[in-house]
Structure 1
Amino acid sequence: MIKKLLLLCLLFVSACTYAETIKTDVLVIGGGASGVSAAIQSARSRVKTMLIEQSSWLGGSLTSGGFCYAEANRNFPSGIYGEFRKRVRDVYKLRLGYDTAYNAPLAYEPATGAAILKKLTDTVKNLTVKLNTTFTDVKKDGTGWELVILADKQKTTIKAKVLIDATELGDVVSKIGVLMTAGFDSRGDTKEALAPQNATNQIQDISYLAVLKDYGRNTDHTIPQPDGYDPSKYTCLQKADIRKLLDAAKLPNDKYLVNWDGCASQYSVTGEDLQPEHRAETFRKARLHTLGLIYYLQTVLGYKNLGFADDFNTPDHLPYIPYIRENRRAAGLVRMVLDDIYTPYSRGSQLYRTAIAISDALPGQHYSEAGVPHINYPPFPAFSIPLGAIVVKDQDNLLVTEKALSVTHLVNGAVTDPAVQMTLGQGAGATAAFCAFFKTTTQNLMPRVIQGEILDFGGYLMPFADIKQTDPAWRAIQQIGATGMLKGAQRVSGNRADILFMPDSTVTTAEIKPYLEEIYSRSFIWFNQEKPGQLFTVANIISYISNMNLRDPKNLEDALQKSWKSYYHFPTEFKTDRPITRREFAVLANRFFNPFARKVDISGKMVN
């Protein structure tokens, strides 16, 4: 009798466990660079958030994938990515030779990065993190979502108002059946002049990276010969400067990151190779390719002193996951194309006005397969990533990051860098929190409200390289820049182009007049009456503000003169007859007539 009762109790407990349902405002699937950042921002935005990660580490490519030498966005310590950078540097700053310059690449050991992210998430209220947890099913639940997750062989149902697919390969949106594309888009489809004539299924190579350690000159750490080893695959390294390659990605504690192009650690794949049914075999072959590289380095090239570091608890000491540069891209409310990067101000859509993140990464072209089109990109500018690219089309409250972002193939290579994804994740988290907090859906997004939240937490909207976050005018310039009233300018340097605000340059009447007349009906009358000269002066803006705000011009002039340096921190002298600088105009415009408050839609067009 007692045994039967115990059995019934066990069955009852099991049934209850299986039937358990948890409700949350925002559910993030995938604890990679973007997923961690999205979850942190969502929780900080005062909504209940849950993060699900299938492995035991947070960080994805930044940690589990071994991508621990981050060069992208190093001029932009944006929000949560800036926090991560600071914490990494605090760990290593006392190490001899560790580079702590403002824009130095971020180098760290993978386990250290994962521990920092875990500690960071542990301190965030409203956030629950579940590691070693997978999702098995997903379906619509009204305007929200219902998922079944599996942890410790126990199934749990999660109901969420907003769902973020931050998996490395877009596994959630794929399971839902969202329209997705992979490989090169055709020129006829995207209207990009650099796109090939015909679409292909070829995507960028994946790479199993390797973290090696120098164990000393007379040591031998040669690994066993890998299965299928073919030395001819690595002959491109015969003429390479191996020491230069190693030093280019030197990590703390005499370690080196091997992430070499060409015949080295790259492994060619197509979109089909990364489908769930083919993924395990593809990854197995890619691992063997990198192991062959290490064996070649040790035996043919003579670097026996270089052996695997103990960063990853795997049988072959390679990372837990490969570094994946591209996969299938979801159809979003907008699709970002190359012209949104090269000529953002002259397009019908003004997507930069809806910016939620920035990137200064160059578009990768990592193909070891012969015959893949090579794109001759002009110098590539830093750019903003628009809100509509993370919002899945025809699905309420479903957002995407990582490789499923709604961009073209030619843009993709500049947005999937893990440092960029961490910046993007913050924007996704703020967007999800907006929907949950205001009890609305992605059909009713308000870009300016979401952008304000991102700015509140130190995130960048505009990639102005000459305005640091410590600048007192930083937020005003970010907001004015996002309106397009004052536009950034490109400064080419080699194969890239910085975007500059040029705060000390003077403002011309021609550049601000069209915008002011568009958003303020009384501007037309003011310009006809005042007839400002070619250069807009301090006196002009005093007159304009007093006219718009119905404020006595003399009182306004006196107030500005008193607060010019003490409150506004302007380095210049207060003189009404001189041309006004872009810094001064941005700060005063932002305060007195606040164009950033004007609503814009998902395409960046102003809403009356």
Structure 2
Amino acid sequence: MTRRLSILFILMGTCISLQAQTTKTGVLVIGNTPTAVAASIQSARSGAKTMYLTQSLSLNAIFSEEDLPFIKNIRNHYSLKERRRSKATDSIIALPVILKQASNLIKSISDSVKNLTINNNNAVDDIKKDGKGWEIRLKGGQKIKADVVVDATENLSIASMLKIDVKKTMVITGNSTNPFENKLYRSSVALGYLEDSSPFTIPMGSLIPQAVENFIIIPKQTGKIKLSKMSAGQAAGTIASYCAFFNTSTKNINVRVVQGELLAFDAILIPYSDIELKDPNFLTFQRLGLSGLIKSGLTNGKIHFDTAGFVKAEDLRSSMREFYTRSQLWFADNKKDTLTIDDAISLFKFIANRGNELNKEIEEGWKVSFKLNSVYDPKRNISRKEFGILADKYLQPYNIRVDISGNLLR
């Protein structure tokens, strides 16, 4: 009898222990949605220990045609890794992703992602602050301690549990219909679109509620802008991973590091209509556009860089003043309406403290290093595309940090 009671107490103690067990993770993503899928996979890919709590019996997010390009990028990323590992000669990269296959494809990829644990058949019962991070109690009794939580539920139900006003984020996009009316585009981390389908940039601060650290939301809409689901999810996962990986908080986030990580994983942060993905300088223009040194434009519902346009001295002078104050001395000594290639090189030499060797360096690298198809002629007007590529190399405006509102940090 005594032996039976002892066994019973041991079993009861084991059950209680299992119920009360605490799991620690860097990032917890919650929600059975496309945004949650993108956030959890990207968080893990960016190096953070990540748990994906679907709050459902299985991962069965409903995808749309809009999500397929992102899913294809994920598939290609892991297909290439597998190809290198197995030294296979064939590849499925050229094949399109079909909508009816998307869910099964994501499930198979999720099972193989390093740093990612999927938790099905469990739901959040309670959530509260735990130092800089969070303590989450599930309805099954399990506890999770996470450095960062991403609410990717359909209706932001976790934010509702915490009584967070999801309309009060660190930056408010307002009712603007042009992303370049203010400096918020400099902190862009995702894409969205207006009611007329015009593209829009999503600033980082619109995913972070005010006065709540290390809690990230993925709303369906901010102001007049509807968020592209997978793009916003990828951004949220990158922000969360940054905070967990570097043991910091959302109020101390480095915008440029997050953007750099997104660009490294094929994210598009400014959707230029006149610069193709296959352009060898595509990343250069993403960086340049985010810097704001050369202003982008919105015409007829399309964002453009105006690659063929010329560089007007007066337009450039005002933006250069913000980045490099001593540039105004050059403009004072060089009265120009439109800059030539020679003028641009002179400006670069003045700001970057370079000598005449730069002329030869640029001439020799015109087609090889800078991948320019045009003829190098120092006396002709320089195009915005040519100026932008050279400015990214020699002035590096993107390397100047910005805050969450897009203001330059010195």
TM-score (norm 2): 0.90
Does 1:399 pair with 2:216? yes
Residue 84 of structure 1 deviates from its aligned partner by 5.5
Match in the other structure for 1:453: 261
Identity of aligned residues (%): 32
Matches within 5 A, 1:69-80: 70=65, 72=66, 77=69
Does 1:169 pair with 2:170? no
Q: Deviations over 1:63-113 (max 9, x none)?
A: xxxxx4x2x488xx4x6663369999x98988xxxxx6xxxxx7521xx21
Residue 140 of structure 1 deviates from its aligned partner by 0.4
Residue 593 of structure 1 deviates from its aligned partner by 1.1
C-alpha distance in structure 2 between counterparts of 1:439 and 1:176, whole Å: 23
Residue 139 of structure 1 deviates from its aligned partner by 0.5
Matches within 5 A, 1:119-138: 119-138=108-127
Q: Deviations over 1:189-221 (max 9, x none)?
A: xxxxxxxxxxxxxxxxxxxxxxxxxxxxxxxxx
Look at both structures and tell me which one has the larger radius of gyration over its CA atoms.
1
Q: Deviations over 1:316-348 (max 9, x none)?
A: xxxxxxxxxxxxx44211122231xx233333x
Match of 1:521, SS?
A: coil
Per the alignment, do residues 566 and 120 of structure 1 end up closer, same or farther by CA in structure 2, a change over 3 Å counting? same
**In 2, are the aligned partners of 1:29 and 1:164 still within 8 Å (CA)?**
yes
Read off the aligned partner of 1:589 and give its amino acid letter.
A
Please point out which of 112, 131, 135 is paired with 1:142: 131
Read off the aligned partner of 2:251 and give its amino acid letter.
Q
Does 1:335 pair with 2:326? no
Read off the aligned partner of 1:498 and give its amino acid letter.
K
Q: Deviations over 1:552-588 (max 9, x none)?
A: 12x1111111111112111111111112222222221
**In 2, are the aligned partners of 1:354 and 1:603 still within 8 Å (CA)?**
yes
Per the alignment, do residues 567 and 59 of structure 1 end up closer, same or farther by CA in structure 2, a change over 3 Å counting? farther
**In 2, are the aligned partners of 1:173 and 1:330 still within 8 Å (CA)?**
no
Match in the other structure for 1:115: 104
Match in the other structure for 2:343: 540
Match of 2:210, SS?
A: coil
Match of 2:314, SS?
A: helix
Does 1:159 pair with 2:145? yes
Residue 443 of structure 1 deviates from its aligned partner by 1.3
Match in the other structure for 1:465: 273
Match in the other structure for 1:351: 184
Residue 59 of structure 1 deviates from its aligned partner by 5.5
Match in the other structure for 2:16: 15
**In 2, are the aligned partners of 1:34 and 1:425 still within 8 Å (CA)?**
yes
**In 1, are the aligned partners of 2:31 and 2:154 still within 8 Å (CA)?**
yes
**In 2, are the aligned partners of 1:401 and 1:424 still within 8 Å (CA)?**
yes
Per the alignment, do residues 469 and 158 of structure 1 end up closer, same or farther by CA in structure 2, a change over 3 Å counting? same
C-alpha distance in structure 2 between counterparts of 1:10 and 1:113, whole Å: 43
**In 2, are the aligned partners of 1:59 and 1:113 still within 8 Å (CA)?**
no
C-alpha distance in structure 2 between counterparts of 1:129 and 1:579, whole Å: 56
**In 2, are the aligned partners of 1:34 and 1:166 still within 8 Å (CA)?**
yes
Does 1:592 pair with 2:400? no
Match in the other structure for 2:83: none
Match of 2:51, SS?
A: strand
Match in the other structure for 1:241: none
Matches within 5 A, 1:205-604: 329-339=166-176, 342-347=177-182, 350-359=183-192, 361-363=193-195, 380-403=197-220, 407-408=222-223, 410-411=224-225, 414-415=226-227, 420-492=228-300, 497-531=301-335, 533-553=336-356, 555-604=357-406
**In 1, are the aligned partners of 2:194 and 2:200 still within 8 Å (CA)?**
no
Q: CA RMSD in A?
A: 2.4
Does 1:48 pair with 2:49? yes
Q: Deviations over 1:130-170 (max 9, x none)?
A: 122211110000110010124xxx42111011110011111
Residue 463 of structure 1 deviates from its aligned partner by 1.4
Read off the aligned partner of 2:145 and give its amino acid letter.
K
Count of residue pairs brought into register by the alignment: 398
Match in the other structure for 1:61: 62
C-alpha distance in structure 1 between counterparts of 2:62 and 2:202, whole Å: 20
C-alpha distance in structure 1 between counterparts of 2:293 and 2:93, whole Å: 42
C-alpha distance in structure 2 between counterparts of 1:92 and 1:57, whole Å: 27
Unaligned runs of 5+ in 2: 80-90
TM-score (norm 1): 0.62
Residue 473 of structure 1 deviates from its aligned partner by 0.8
C-alpha distance in structure 2 between counterparts of 1:426 and 1:591, whole Å: 28
Per the alignment, do residues 9 and 123 of structure 1 end up closer, same or farther by CA in structure 2, a change over 3 Å counting? same
**In 2, are the aligned partners of 1:30 and 1:165 still within 8 Å (CA)?**
yes
Q: Deviations over 1:411-448 (max 9, x none)?
A: 3xx22xxxx11111111111111211222111112211
**In 2, are the aligned partners of 1:80 and 1:423 still within 8 Å (CA)?**
no
Per the alignment, do residues 561 and 59 of structure 1 end up closer, same or farther by CA in structure 2, a change over 3 Å counting? farther
Unaligned runs of 5+ in 1: 63-67, 95-99, 101-105, 180-328, 364-378
Match of 1:158, SS?
A: strand
**In 2, are the aligned partners of 1:333 and 1:389 still within 8 Å (CA)?**
yes
Match in the other structure for 1:227: none
Match of 1:164, SS?
A: strand
Per the alignment, do residues 44 and 334 of structure 1 end up closer, same or farther by CA in structure 2, a change over 3 Å counting? same
Q: Deviations over 1:506-564 (max 9, x none)?
A: 22222221111111121011111122x222221122111211222112x1111111111
Per the alignment, do residues 39 and 473 of structure 1 end up closer, same or farther by CA in structure 2, a change over 3 Å counting? same
Residue 485 of structure 1 deviates from its aligned partner by 2.1
C-alpha distance in structure 1 between counterparts of 2:92 and 2:362, whole Å: 45
C-alpha distance in structure 1 between counterparts of 2:94 and 2:353, whole Å: 54
Match in the other structure for 2:36: 35
C-alpha distance in structure 1 between counterparts of 2:94 and 2:279, whole Å: 24
